[in-house]
Amino acid sequence: MQPLDNEFFEEYKRLDRLCADMYSCKNGVSQYIEDMESRSRREAGVISSWDNEYKMLKHLRWKRNRIAHDTDGHQISSISDIQYVRKFHERILSGQDPIALLEKSKVAAGQQENMQYEYRPAPQRSFDFGCLIIIVDIVVILLYFLTHN
């Protein structure tokens, strides 16, 4: 294994462990990718970088698998691959990865929707028309009893 590939492999394993902890599974990056695949196109379209992130994660997983099974000794990864894996790891920790951003946007949309349809009771009136009818009924009943007795 080439030194650059070894460094990439170690950084990928670190990212994989983080994702595995998030999903409580064995293959964390694969589970993250599956989570992305389970989202609808409409839902994922809210995150502008979604497609690029998805393709890049799949590509990096492919490179990781090539390194793990490669017997030729050719260098497979690049410095930019290592940098991407590190930055993606940081984005997950800071809540700026695609899944976290999608969940945040769903919460924000839900709060906005709740604000639009928030129940606001009618203001209380000191004297209601219903009260007037009850008072008139009581007066009529009293007058009836007073005049017929």
* pLDDT tens for each residue of 55-74: 999 999 999 999 999 778 88
> Is there a contact between 61 and 36 (Cβ–Cβ < 8 Å)?
no
pLDDT at 136: 73
Q: Which amino acid is present at 125?
A: R
Query: Which residue ranges in the chain fall short of pLDDT 70?
Result: 111-132, 149
pLDDT at 111: 62
pLDDT at 148: 81
Helices 28-38 and 50-69 pack at an angle, to 10 degrees, of 150
- Write b or e for each residue in 79-106: b if 16 or more Cβ atoms lie within 10 A of its Cβ, otherwise e: eebbebbeebbebbeeeebbbbbbeeee
Whether the model pTM is above 0.85: no
pLDDT at 146: 80
pLDDT at 88: 98
pLDDT at 59: 98
pLDDT at 108: 82
% helix / strand / coil in the chain, to the nearest 5?
75, 0, 25
